[in-house]
Amino acid sequence: MTSTDSTAVPRRTRRGRVPEPRHARRGLSARLRAIDDATPAERDRVIDALRALAIVGVVLGHWLVSVVVFDQNGPHIASPLQHLPELTPLTWVLQLLGLFFFAGGWANVRSLDRASGGSASATTRGSILGRGYLPWLGARLDRMLRPVVLLAGFVAVLLAVLGLSGWTGADLYTVGLFVVSPLWFLPVYLVLTAGTPIVDAAVRRWGAWAAVGPAAVVLLLDLLRYGPWWELPASVGTPNLIAAWLVPYVLGVAFARGRLVQAAGPWLFVAGLAACVALIVFADYPASMTGVTGADRSNMGPPSLLVPAMALAQLGVALTFYRRLARALTRPWLWAIVVTINLVAMTVYLWHQTALMSTQLATHAVGLSLLGFDGVPADLTWLLSRLALLPLCGVVLCGFILLFRRWEQRSASTVLRPAAPAGATADAARPTAADQDPPRHTSPAG
């Protein structure tokens, strides 16, 4: 057989793989480089990375510790943490919503600056709500709420089909509650977004210390709920839904305004960690950063003081390693991953629980009972089985992303084209919205 024979056996590497054609490698490299080149030099890539990391943490956290178990009594919500409390430290690294709210505060104040033609709190003849505020807020509301309508319609159809197939009202409630549970985030984030000019004004006056105010509110309501002098109903803490997440949001605005610097990272970490240890060890706060089925208390419903304390510690780590993260994100392949996650962040957040439930229901429809989807989440075997099933859930989620990503503000193709040539408009080369907006939505997570 000659070297020119078209039937020649492809050359293989020492690992037995057929090497990728050089032109294909060049094509992938060029694609990654195009994403990198399309990114404005002034863009803070770390902010995008923190947002992407928070979204990934939300999905993995929900898929691992938020479980619907099917047994002879029908579906019911459970948690591996109820039986495996040694997994609690996982919640400290997967519950990253504090970083998301920090990134949101940073992005929103920068975006409002652009919309108002100056400072978000720079008043128009003394008014905190500048001339561009209402159009800006309207655009934010539209971009966040429009995809929710689609999810609501899908869930309504799903529940109707299950109801017609004989499911009881209680079973439908369990499934419906599970798939829409992440939506608590949206009204909270919208309230904070609407209050951005007020937060900015407070930061300009008091700097990062403006975060002490909402933290004090959380502390006061925790004292009312948990004593030692009173033990009022948990509903007393409802304002903490805003106050607790306002703490990292304020710090994000402060960082955008230069009133919080990277050098403060170690101090924030020490302060946050000390507060977490004190609350857990001496004040008998639950250690888990997520709700645990059957537990008397939860740090998330509504948020306790441990939530802003943990956010402070996580933010301290992020600021401490900010420069290293920024350098790492100059690598085209890593930046492409961050951009891609941000482009579909809202879709991922809204649909990840629906993807999990759809996968679980599909296995039941074909007569499969898989450990990890079924059975009591009481041991390591169940947890490992759950981990093995997560790629399947990921495939289903990717399907939802392909179907519904168009409902987000921009298409993924925005970042897959090369930088605009000289003379083209600046927006043509931007991979995401101006002033650090998320690529489509400023969404979440939980």
The pLDDT assigned to 125 comes to: 39
pLDDT of residue 26: 61
How many whole angstroms separate alpha carbon 120 and alpha carbon 124? 10
List C-alpha distances in Å: 162 to 96, 365, 422. Answer: 34, 11, 56
Burial of 76 (0-12, 13-18, 19+ CB in 10 A): middle
Helices (H), 257-379: 265-277, 306-320, 322-328, 332-343, 345-365
Helix, strand and coil percent figures for the chain, each rounded to 5: 65, 5, 30
pLDDT tens for the chain, 446 residues long, are 444 444 444 454 444 544 555 544 466 677 777 776 677 777 889 999 999 999 999 999 999 988 888 877 778 888 888 888 888 999 999 999 999 999 999 999 999 998 887 655 554 434 556 668 899 999 888 888 888 888 999 999 999 999 998 889 999 999 999 999 888 999 999 999 999 999 999 999 999 999 999 999 999 999 988 877 767 777 888 999 999 999 999 999 999 999 999 999 999 999 999 999 999 999 999 999 988 876 778 898 899 999 999 999 999 999 999 999 999 999 989 999 999 999 889 899 999 999 999 999 999 888 888 888 888 888 889 999 999 999 999 999 999 999 888 776 543 343 433 333 333 333 333 444 334 554 433 333 34
Closest CA to 439 of 19, 47, 134, 6: 47
Asked if residue 188 lies in contact with residue 241, where contact means CB atoms within 8 angstroms, the answer is yes
Element (H, E) at 13: none
pLDDT score recorded for residue 68:
87
Q: Give the chain's radius of gyration (CA, Å).
A: 24
Letter string b/e over residues 408-438, b meaning 16 or more CB atoms within 10 A of that residue's CB: bbbebebbbeebeeeeeeeeebbbbbebbbb
pLDDT at residue number 77: 86
Length of the chain: 446
Helix (H) and strand (E) counts in the chain:
16, 2
Domain boundaries, the chain: 44-436
Amino acid 17: pLDDT:
46
- Measured distance CA(370)–CA(70) in Å, rounded: 11
The DSSP secondary structure of 256-270, one letter per residue, reads: HTTSS-GGGHHHHHH
